[in-house]
Structure 1
Amino acid sequence: MMFNGSKTRTWLVALCVLVMLTACAGSNTRPIADGTARAVMGSQELPAPDTTVDGRYVGKSDYRVGALDLLEISVFGIEEFSRTVRVNSSGQVTLPLIGAIEAGGKTVQELETDISERLKDGYLQNPQVTVFVAEFTSQRITVEGAVNQPGIYPITGDTSLLQAIALAKGLDRVANRSGIIVFRTIGGQRMAAVFDLRQIRAGDAPDPQVYGDDIIVVDESGARSAWREIIQSPDS
């Protein structure tokens, strides 16, 4: 049987899901054989990734500023300098006194240091600069499988699973609405959870938030969804 590139990719993803979730059948969480990943089965609450709280970035060591991110920049004791600016498509922001500065590709801490050094050069003696990422326009999610327009989509602010599906132009006619899998890295491990869009739309289950780097896979209905019967069965 021959498959085109898109179908082959979808089947490979489904196979990965099968391996991950079969390994944890009968338990909420269980390490996969190689010990490098975990799967959460049948969970309506997949924890947020390590670096986010309510969709906002709270760390400074990993995230690198990207084009169109919204930054809140302040200098302690100097209100005139504090402002909210959006990174332009070239990765730059324009600030008082120092003009255009390259922000794209830098960590928050690197950008704080850069701005501080520019202000020291003839303007302020010991500026204390704070940079906060208010919107992660450069964060992206991947939506794959039985949707009308699979792809990689940017997200800004809080985004729910239903909204993520809408970004991909909705489910296609062969979608299994009870087989929506979300992959996420938590505590340095890859994890996954299965969600039922029918329950979410009926208000019987919460609409979970998605985050940058999440991978959302929509299963296909029919025989191709037989693996769900396997992962929902008790251990033999």
Structure 2
Amino acid sequence: MARETGCCVGAASLALVLAFSGSTLAQQAEAPASQQETRRLTRSADEPDAYLLGPDDVVNVVVWNQKDLSGEYVIEADGMLTVPLIGSVQAEGLTLRAIEAALKRQLSDGFLRDPQVSVSILQYHSRRVYVVGEVKQPGTYPLTRNTTLIEVLTRAGATLNAMTGEVTVVRPRADRKIAGPVLPDQGHAADVIRIDLRDLESGIVARDLTLRDGDTIVVPDQEKVYVMGEVRNPGAYSVPRGTTLLQLISIAGGLTDRGAVGRTRAYRHVNGEKKEMKLKVDDVVEPGDTISVPQRLF
């Protein structure tokens, strides 16, 4: 029956070519809303074509004009993708374009004539990294080919020029299967890699680590600058390195009508001792500073 299908496809090829444009538009119009939502939810994978497939990933296979072959498939624990007619195909470690080529090659081997195959990923489940700590969007992120530390930190909403200290990457050893994030002090068999955030901000490429499956990125709590007194929005602020007093006051909403910026004081820990110092508007504030803006005398 499968070989007869291939013959029929060849005999009707001219009609199919004529109908191609209209058929394609119809298929696009009928795309399930659930697939559109899935694409929206997984858009954080900046380059899905570079993603290496693995067990439990869910892919959508479309074989043009072959509804019985098209559908959603889960990559099995052994890394195989099982499709009607051709059976199991190795999928683990392949990109979407590579698995498309493999399926097309198998279907062309006595089943269909010049099959048109498209594969997209619906759910990422196999390769992932974890981000914890002080970022806007901590969580799990899919791992594409050659994903770097800076890329994942950017996805997670980290602002490198406002961060201080070291970021820690906890990397499980090859013989350990990890199902979730691992912190440096949890006692698992893992390597701990520490990277100075100043190096990343400075663009030192050699310090931008290529991530591996199961890595946990730990972003430390950032020291803040505290602003009190005659500003419109007193509070604690994480600010980029090099921020001046004038810029900080602007971030805090500006002075009140009674603020005296010329009499501003900073309380800063120096060599373990708390020091009081006068700041000018172009002086740079430091993490941990407490800035006090007093009232005008008259």
TM norm structure 1: 0.45
Higher strand content, 1 or 2: 1
TM norm structure 2: 0.37
Higher relative contact order structure (alpha carbons within 8 Å, sequence separation ≥ 6): 1
Higher helix content, 1 or 2: 2
